[in-house]
Amino acid sequence: MKKLLMVLAVAVAITLFLAGYTKPALAQEKPMELSMVSFLPDIPPGGNWARLFINQVNKISNGSMKIKFLGPEAIPAPDAPAAVKRGSVDIASALSPFCDALVPGSNSIGRAEYSPMDLRKGPAFKYYQDGFAKVGIYYMGASVSSLPQVQTVLYLRKTINGLADLKGLKIAAAGGSNKAFIEAVGAVCVPIDFPDYFTSMERGTVDGYNIGIPGIQDFSLTPVTKAMLDEPVSSCGGMMIMNMAKYNSLSKAQQDVLNKAMIQTEIDGAKMFTETVEKVKKDIAAAGVKIIHLSPSDSKAFYLAYRNAMWAEDMARWPDIAPKLKGWLVDPNFPRAK
């Protein structure tokens, strides 16, 4: 509760700051349209965050700026960062693991034990903005905002009774995301794309899958899922990025619209994520998916396995920047690690 109140206080402060913005001087601007792609399909609940941003842009610009939205069927998720860099699409809600080739340590943002609103004020945000700028991309912020470490869970083909029951299970993970963590709890990581999760679960090729909590509905996975391990890890791993040349071609007023819309989307999106998770759990439980929890000791061990394994992987991959990122992103007082 204390953490939630702190986050809400930050959100209120940013909202008051936004209220102090000079109203964008768009009266003389010609109407324009930007293109945007997302790693999630344009359906609820996953598509809601992209739509939240799009609606904010339309609202703040009084309809003079619009965004044409495309899903992963237009540009596959692994290709989105490069597509933004070359200008094939103006904006992308991109998965951070696929940004690592452009900015080392992009994937580390998922380890953050602070909210996107908190990060915006610190050195990690500047690191990502500066890093992306060097490759011709404007880093905007978190594309699927939430409170820290509540985004991703393991969905399974069977129920388990404790942490030890995960040993040997084959867990699907898009792009091999969270591979170090999956292996740290004794499971086997199977790198496959989100659209292949259903068939793999249906055929028993995998025993479960690693995905953001709403993903079970985004990819219609409820029929092949028996249990949700309600022990979430990971913060927002979605990065909103924009082609820098396109951003620089905009007027100051148009740039202000995008930045203000992004900040408001982070604030509203965090609240929406909490509400969405509760609805998803209610829906899937009604459909027969069992919501399971670990014992307090197993729960702590599970989270620490995630934190330690993922940071160890980052340290090995980026020995120069990972120690700094860890210092910026890890909360020494994070309650789940106590």
- In what helix (H) or strand (E) does residue 229 lie, and over which residues does it extend? strand 227-233
In a shared domain, residues 63 and 196: no
Residue 337 maps to a domain: no
Q: Say whether both 270 and 284 belong to one domain.
A: no
- Flag whether 301 is in a domain: yes
Cβ atoms of 129 and 141 closer than 8 Å: no
- Express each pLDDT in 96-106 by its tens digit: 989 999 999 99
Domain identity same for 211 and 243: no
333 vs 27, residue with greater confidence: 333
Q: How far apart are CA 198 and CA 212, in angstroms?
A: 15
Give the CATH number of the domain where residue 207 resides: 3.40.190.170
Are 228 and 289 a contacting pair, CB within 8 Å?
Answer: yes
Q: Are 308 and 212 contained in the same domain?
A: yes
Rounded CA-CA distance 221/284 in Å is 10
Whether 23 shows a pLDDT value over 70: the answer reads no
Q: Which domain holds residue 173?
A: 152-234+279-332
Yes or no: say if 90 and 243 are a contact pair by the CB < 8 Å rule: yes
Total domains in the fold of the chain: 2
Does residue 143 lie within any of the structural domains? yes
Residue burial 87-124, b: 16+ Cβ < 10 Å; e: rest: ebbbbbbbbbbbbbebbbbbbbbbbbbbbbbbbbeeeb
Of 71-75, 145-149, 152-156, 303-307, the one with minimum mean pLDDT is 71-75
Task: Flag whether 203 is in a domain.
Answer: yes
The answer to whether 273 and 142 are in contact (CB under 8 A) is no
| Local confidence band at 92 (pLDDT 50, 70, 90 cut-offs) | very high
Shared-domain flag, residues 124 and 198:
no
Structure tokens at 24: 């964008």
Using a 10 angstrom Cβ sphere, with 0-12 exposed, 13-18 middle and 19 or more buried, the burial of residue 229 is buried
How wide is the angle at C-alpha 67 spanned by C-alphas 50 and 72, nearest 5°?
50
| Statement to judge: residues 201 and 66 lie in one domain | no
Calculate mean pLDDT across residues 49-53: 95
- The number of beta carbons lying within 10 Å of the beta carbon of residue 304 is 13
Sign of CA dihedral 107, 75, 35, 143: negative
Percent of the chain with pLDDT over 90: 83
Query: In angstroms, how far is CA 186 from the centroid of its own chain?
Result: 25
Same-domain status, 163 and 199: yes
The predicted structure's pLDDT at residue 99: 96
User: What confidence tier does 30 reach under pLDDT thresholds 50, 70, 90?
Assistant: confident
Q: For position 43, what pLDDT does the model report?
A: 85
* Separation CA 204–CA 198 (nearest Å): 10
Query: Does position 8 have pLDDT exceeding 50, yes or no?
Result: no
State whether 33 and 124 are in the same domain: yes
**pLDDT-derived band at 175, boundaries 50, 70, 90:** confident
Confidence of residue 5 (pLDDT cuts 50, 70, 90): very low
CB 151 within 8 A of CB 234: yes
Computed over every residue of the chain, the mean pLDDT equals 92
Instruction: Give the global pTM.
Output: 0.85
Residues 80 and 197 grouped into a single domain: no
pLDDT digits (tens, 9 = 90+) for 247-291: 999 999 999 999 999 999 999 999 999 999 999 999 999 999 999
Write out pLDDT tens, residues 183-206: 999 999 999 988 999 999 999 999
Query: What pLDDT, on the 0 to 100 scale, is given for residue 296?
Result: 96
Residues 308 and 210 in one domain: yes
HEC assignment per residue over 144-158: CCCCCCCCEEEEECC
Check residue 196 and report its DSSP letter: G
Q: What is the pLDDT of residues 219-237, one digit of tens each?
A: 999 999 999 999 999 999 8
Range in 15-24, 58-67, 145-154, 299-308 the model is least confident about: 15-24
Please indicate, yes or no, if residue 196 is contained in any of the structural domains. yes
Q: List alpha helices for the chain, DSSP H.
A: 2-19, 48-60, 80-86, 116-119, 123-133, 179-184, 197-203, 215-218, 244-249, 252-286, 296-317, 322-329
Among the listed residues 268, 329, 328, 272, the one whose alpha carbon sits nearest the alpha carbon of residue 11: 268
What pLDDT is stored for residue 12 in this prediction? 46
pLDDT at 26: 64
User: Does 283 fall in a domain?
Assistant: yes
The answer on 69 and 12 residing in a single domain is yes
Same domain, 190 and 299: yes
Task: State how far the alpha carbon of 132 is from the alpha carbons of 101, 102, 128, 274, in Å.
Answer: 11, 7, 6, 29
Q: Is residue 175 part of a domain?
A: yes
